[in-house]
Amino acid sequence: MRLLFIGNSHTFVHYVPLRVKEYLRSKGIKADVTMLTHPGMGLDWHLKQSQTYFNLIYGDYDAVILQHNAHPFPGRDSLVSSGIEMKKLVPEKTKVYLYMTWSEKKNPQGQKNMSESYEELAEKIDASICPVGKLWWQIKEKYPDELYFEDGEHTSVFGASLASAIIAKTILNEPLALEEVYEDAKRLEKLETDKRMIDLAMKDGEYAMSSIAEIEKEEL
């Protein structure tokens, strides 16, 4: 299975594509994953990049997972219009999935607009929704695990693992029962990544990208 992820930091922080790959591996499915991401950029930005066109048209992917801006969410029109244009580039054999994100920790009321916007786009382009944002708040209410990074926007490792479990289970058309999703996320949370990779870290009150080895060293 060949998967293409297009998005921003909510895709690359704590490496959602890698955790999706691990979940599929645990089910006996070999997945090759490609990630096209850039901090703070949405699908409208990706539509101006040559690598987006090349990968979608010539990459021979089984599925593409699309993720738009989240914090702040630019609104329904931004998501729907850019999603429709992106769909025009997708070959018939490539299934489109929408990675529904979550609203800010201090803005739970913002989830309704975000969720409804993703649902509208899904209907317009015949895509499947990975309902991370919807299940996010249910998990947050039921379990004690911290889903957010220190900035109240990005994910903790568990939050990224939750997103990955929901995406992978959606791709496999598995039920999204809350307890099962939680247990899958806890397993993915334990995944070790190559120490040469870089990830989100907090330094002097601001977040920055550092190598995983440096982050672990500072935490000791």
pLDDT at 122: 98
Domain co-membership, 205 together with 171: no
Angstrom distance (rounded) from CA 85 to CA 48: 11
Q: Does the predicted model carry a pTM greater than 0.85? A: yes
Q: Which residues contact 165 (CB under 8 A, 6 or more apart)?
A: 19, 23, 181, 184, 185, 188
Residues of the chain with pLDDT under 70: 220
Domain co-membership, 107 together with 208: no
Domain co-membership, 85 together with 175: yes
Domain co-membership, 164 together with 210: no
On the question of a cis peptide bond just before residue 131, with omega within 30 degrees of 0, the verdict is no
Domain co-membership, 55 together with 101: yes
pLDDT at 220: 66
Domain co-membership, 72 together with 110: yes
Domain co-membership, 145 together with 214: no
CATH code, 29: 3.40.50.1110
Domain co-membership, 114 together with 148: yes
Q: Find the domain containing 214 and state its range.
A: 195-220
Query: How many domains does one find in the chain?
Result: 2
Domain co-membership, 141 together with 68: yes
Domain co-membership, 166 together with 203: no
Domain co-membership, 11 together with 68: yes
Domain co-membership, 94 together with 169: yes
